[in-house]
Amino acid sequence: MLTSLPVEALGNIAACITSPIDIVAFALTSKTLAAIASPRHTRLRKIVCSRFALCVWQLLATSPSLARNVRFLTICDRSHRGQVLPTSCMRCAPGCGHGHISLPEDYAGVQAMKQAERVMIAALKNMSNLVLFDWQAAIPNKIVAHNEPDKQDVWSSLAAITSLDGIVVSESDRCPMWDSQLFSLSNLTVFDYTTSISLGPSTPPDCSRLVAMLRDRCPGLEELYLRFTARFFAENGFSAPDLGESLFTARWPNLTAVGLKCVVSTPAAVVSFLAAHPGLRRVHMDKWFGCRRPLSDDFEDFDWDSPIALRLALPRGVLPDLETLHCIPRHAIDIVRTILSSPATGGAGALTISVDVARQAGMDDAALDEFVSVMKDLPPNITVANRADVESAVGEWKWWRILEARRKAHNFDTSPA
């Protein structure tokens, strides 16, 4: 009988069960197994909380046997209402806000925040089976790293967890985590990074550490998402990260998904990258993917909202397993025509396409007209998810063409006030 095994052995069996449905079935087998599975393996697998939730971190820092059951950890803002806490395991004082209540910004409040961060770092060191770490807090973890004697931070603690497969980071400042130990991680299969850049004129972020980590330390990468966002004006200029000669020369045999925003790369680098990753199933790219960078002599005249999208001369047989594609019309035309021209991919599985038809997406009317003609002749296995948006954009372009023709004919301004 399974229940005749030692409690430690049963606990190890429960720890090997990854599916939530399976762990519930395990718990329902008998009262003995239910006591082993719950709450250790039903309430601790996924935690979503603020980094100031001292009660959570004290529990996990002082109980390694509980901490090693955490698989998915999301650090959110204190105002986040979707927190998932192991309340059945916690012994909180009456009225505890679990880090939800804002602390005063005086000396005592700052010290309390630092203490919570220290205990959180100690708790992370006990999460030996953590699989995914998701940082959604607006403020990065820098205070402890810069003031503690051992310079430990969240990322150096995560670097010691061999089971860690995925990192999701979303920050809203000028790449503050790039000064931490984030890029000391290795053997990741999922890397999802979003940052809002506040840059001076023509100053791209230094991506050397990021590229080195992904290319050299994560050979088994399966999903890669890099999103750089910024508010900029033509008179100030903005240089998106140019990774064409570094990131796009990397090769990941297991790569199935890639999503890039504001990442400049030449058409040659794009073609080489896509051709070298036949296992790609999901591709999401914006107007900067395969575009010409502004040159020094046309910096002031460069259209920062609509960079020049160049054609992609893709080889036949590229992207045989592609399932979803999001890009601008110009690139959609090249990719779809290449897929249709190849006997190996033209009749392959279902492919769903969505194109960015916003005026700021590097779209031009000629490319849109061409995409519409391609869209009419697509085989049944290829569908356009936002067909209605495309048709609406075509109508808008036709209207603007009429207005422009009238303006030229009568020499008056038709632009809206």
**CA 25 – CA 42 distance, rounded (Å):** 11
Specify if 400 maps to a domain: yes
- Do strands 132-135 and 72-76 pair parallel, antiparallel, or not at all (unpaired)? parallel
Confidence of residue 282 (pLDDT cuts 50, 70, 90): very high
Biggest alpha carbon–alpha carbon distance for the chain: 93
pLDDT of 225 reads 95
Total of domains in the chain: 2
Contact 363, 327 (CB under 8 A): no
pLDDT tens column, 149-190: 666 778 888 888 999 999 998 876 555 566 677 888 999 999
Q: Is residue 386 part of a domain?
A: yes
5 domain-assigned: yes
- For residue 29, tell me if it sits in a domain: yes
Any domain includes 346: yes
DSSP string, 10-27: HHHHHHH---HHHHHHHH
Q: What angle, rounded to 10 degrees, do the helices at 329-341 and 365-376 form?
A: 30
Burial of 296: CB neighbours in 10 Å, binned 0-12, 13-18, 19+: exposed
Is 340 part of any domain? yes
Which amino acid appears at position 161 of this protein? I
Model-wide pTM > 0.95:
no
Q: Which of 314, 383, 318 is nearest to 344 (CA)?
A: 318
Q: Is the pLDDT of residue 199 over 80?
A: no
Alpha-carbon span 315 to 336, nearest angstrom: 12
Q: What is the tens place of the pLDDT at every residue in 361-410?
A: 555 667 777 888 888 888 888 888 888 887 777 666 666 666 666 776 76
For 17, the domain range is 1-42
Specify whether the CB–CB gap between 228 and 205 falls below 8 A: yes
Query: According to the model, what pLDDT value does residue 12 have?
Result: 66
Whether 272 is covered by a domain: the verdict is: no
Q: Are 253 and 279 in contact (CB under 8 A)?
A: yes
Query: What secondary structure, in 3-state letters, does 47-79 show?
Result: EEEECCCHHHHHHHHHCHHHHCCCCEEEEECCC
Under 8 Å between Cβ of 25 and 31: no
How confident is the model over 298-356, as pLDDT tens digits?
A: 445 555 555 566 778 888 888 989 999 998 888 888 898 888 887 655 445 789 998 88
Please report whether residue 366 resides in a domain: yes
